[in-house]
Amino acid sequence: MRPTRRPSRFWASALPGLAGHLARTMPWTMLLTGCVSGTAVLALLTRFASQTPLDQGTVRMTFLPAVAALAFVPHAHFRPLIQATPLPLWIASVGQTLFALPVLAVTCWVQLQLMASTAPPTDAGHLPAVYPLLAQLTAWSMLTLAIAACCERTRYAALSGAIAVPVSFALIAAASFAPALERNLLTPPAAPHTATTAWYAIAAVALALAVVALRDHWRRYTRRIHL
């Protein structure tokens, strides 16, 4: 079969119905559970943080469930059925990922607001910069997304989320505790601008890798029978 070019108005007529289908097939339970659970823990800590204000390290820990939930988003369910449709295969994974990113952004904003509410009014002008933390959380999300997208290309696509979560957490732990990486990625000892640049560079590379992995064709694996 030769690939045919879609009409110019194809996407304009297909996107409304496609958006509704993607919204119905989104793993909302997994995504919202990860986002709400971490935020609920942070809200509980905020209630008992009357003496000592919460720091950015607490937000890093409570945002991890949302990052773990993102690993299950770009999974293409019913792949043989999707391959029979006139739309590209990557539409399902990309569309669901676009639905998930605003949810993660709102979760991050809510957690930052909870953290800021525990700071005394006298220290409002002396709080640590937030933009390195935003870069770090963005890189964590893109890295998890890239690992999950790469797992989708293998024969273990059904376990892509379960594989991506421990691999992502292992890389996050290495960046947090390895001295060679800590001095360039964490503040302190790294300067805020240095850490921000490094994390956004990691996020850009991870995003490019995810785009390549999602756009790639499905690799079919066959066993060779030896007689």
SS3 letters across 120-160: CHHHHHHCCCCHHHHHHHHHHHHHHHHHHHHHCCCCCHHHH
pLDDT at 85 (0 to 100): 59
Q: Is residue 220 very low, low, confident or very high in pLDDT (cuts 50, 70, 90)?
A: very low
Provide mean pLDDT across the span 142-150. 93
137 class by beta-carbon count within 10 Å (0-12 exposed, 13-18 middle, 19+ buried): buried
DSSP state of 85: S
Taking the chain, what is the end-to-end CA distance rounded to the nearest angstrom? 33
Supply 150's token pair: 């790469």
- Answer yes or no: is pLDDT of 160 > 70: yes
Predicted TM-score (pTM) of this structure: 0.82
Supply 166's token pair: 């421990």
Number of C-beta neighbours around residue 181 at 10 A: 15
Q: Is residue 62 a contact partner of residue 41, using CB atoms and an 8 Å limit? A: yes
- Answer yes or no: is pLDDT of 11 > 80: no
pLDDT at 50 (0 to 100): 64
Provide mean pLDDT across the span 43-48. 89
